[in-house]
Structure 1
């Protein structure tokens, strides 16, 4: 292949490779870097590509998986606050951002052409967070087998190991996830219309600084967590107390734009500044069940807004 042909054949797979690398790494930023690394490695090895042995898509996945395994060497897991510290009992606790922790990041899935691929296995935050507990090779085996439905023999070839080793790693990975008990991975979800109604009501209450309206939409044991602050709360009352504090600190003037993250409803929240404009504040990802909102992960940091095609300011 010359470079033009390579680009023409590889480019259609870029987005799904990004999904794959995100599953492995838990970071949209790292995933983008690894997709670039994958395509660079593939181009350098283009002369050795044998179309009779594997499709270019399979070949690229193999390169991407091994690039991720290399990148993960010596790295700790990406985490959410609930996986690091105990729930706070103090709604007035100091909000101190900890940028030394490798925090889990959300992944944009609104109108994503890779959504059909992602649907083969969950992209929910709870599952991505749980997978971070797995050693890198177990994570790779689990994704290739249970998400992408690769034959064990193909996985063994891609990872340069034996089928027995793959089966063993897969068994250990599934057992570890069962121990973690990802309750959110099997939520009793309402249909799209009902979910949209709940989120619409939440947005109206949020923009009106209506704490009572917000808490009516929550379940009794709702979880609120806020990376990169190592802080999280459990319960409707704690959630309400914290939101009352937010409005007291930042004022009641907020705007919200809807989006989708990890195949879950999400919003970008904007707070009015001294200049009268609304500035990007946080990206909030919800778990919605028929009983109400059970989880809200509030990601602080304007750097994430660009990945979701959300502006940094609103007039």
Structure 2
């Protein structure tokens, strides 16, 4: 059976909300690929039920209600999407094996281009939106039940009242307040503090040094850009590593690059954070997708790096297949 075609006049009304609905679905499920599909399913469900929409709420509120319940249906029976640090194990030995787990679906990064357009938003609104898709926050959401995620996003991100959230989810106000209390307590345990007060000039200088360290394959330089608290993780490998010396040892022993020029880097952004696309030179002197580095920058040095080995993400970020 073919998928019905949504009426063009309906799409004109709802298409301006695509970016924010994509961000909402991404926060719910932790996957950029699933979020895109869920937004399309939301539009299809809304189109089918548009005749029953009686303007008792705004179109935006109504679509968020449909999107939230569409995500909740999609999450039934599914496991959360963690990062390696969310598996509850201690940091790993950089000299050891790098095990993987085929049964896990990992948290994915969200390209900034999918949620921010060319029009400059209000600075206050932009700060709220950027904070709500920060990787640390989305990773912390993965420790909540689907209903707790929904309640936090509706009440704390979208500023809905408990009564409105209860009506949208088909539960009691007491259930919303109880879920919200538990969710906030869990988030306070899971969410790491981020220092994001550094200047744009500092960001550029630190990123320039980081890029140069990899393109020059200068591991000693890389180590100087990290601290004893810096965390390095790289799904689908289940281990994670902490501290400049441990990370330096990991790169020296496990990275297939061996000399300056083996890697080239393109810059982009995701989750409101810097993302670096690393290309590795092959035997034919072609540079092919290797991994994406998503960086959290601290006050003076790099605080956290997530290296994604899923090269299908290069296309999601609009990056070239080869350099």
How far the C-alpha of 1:96 sits from its partner, in A, is 4.2
* CA deviation map 1:181-200 (0-9, x unaligned): x223x425311211121011
- Separation in structure 2 between the aligned mates of residue 304 and residue 107 of structure 1, nearest angstrom: 10
Structure 2: 5+ residue stretches without partners? 1-5
How far the C-alpha of 1:238 sits from its partner, in A, is 0.6
- Separation in structure 2 between the aligned mates of residue 118 and residue 176 of structure 1, nearest angstrom: 25
* Within-5 A mapping of 1:221-232: 221-232=229-240
How far the C-alpha of 1:220 sits from its partner, in A, is 1.5
Q: Does 1:179 align with 2:182?
A: no
Select the residue among 241, 248, 251 that pairs with 1:243.
251
Structure 1 runs of 4+ off > 6 angstroms?
A: none
Count of paired positions: 309
Partner of 2:3: none
Q: Does 1:77 align with 2:93?
A: no
- Separation in structure 1 between the aligned mates of residue 96 and residue 293 of structure 2, nearest angstrom: 20
* Within-5 A mapping of 1:137-152: 137-152=147-162
How far the C-alpha of 1:62 sits from its partner, in A, is 0.5
Structure 1: 5+ residue stretches without partners? none
Alignment check: 8 A CA contact 1:80 1:103 kept? yes
DSSP 3-state at the match of 2:236: coil
- Separation in structure 2 between the aligned mates of residue 215 and residue 127 of structure 1, nearest angstrom: 27
TM-score of the pair, normalised by structure 2: 0.90
DSSP 3-state at the match of 2:132: coil
Q: Does 1:43 align with 2:47?
A: yes
Partner of 1:25: 29
Aligned CA-pair RMSD: 1.8
Partner of 2:105: 102
How far the C-alpha of 1:259 sits from its partner, in A, is 1.0
Q: Is the deviation greater in 111-120 or in 293-302?
A: 111-120
- Separation in structure 2 between the aligned mates of residue 94 and residue 37 of structure 1, nearest angstrom: 41
How far the C-alpha of 1:221 sits from its partner, in A, is 1.6
- Separation in structure 1 between the aligned mates of residue 319 and residue 8 of structure 2, nearest angstrom: 32
* Within-5 A mapping of 1:182-197: 182-184=191-193, 186-197=194-205
DSSP 3-state at the match of 1:54: coil
Alignment check: 8 A CA contact 1:189 1:288 kept? no
TM-score of the pair, normalised by structure 1: 0.93
Partner of 2:11: 7
* CA deviation map 1:192-250 (0-9, x unaligned): 21112101110011100001111111111211110011121111101101111244x33
Partner of 1:215: 223
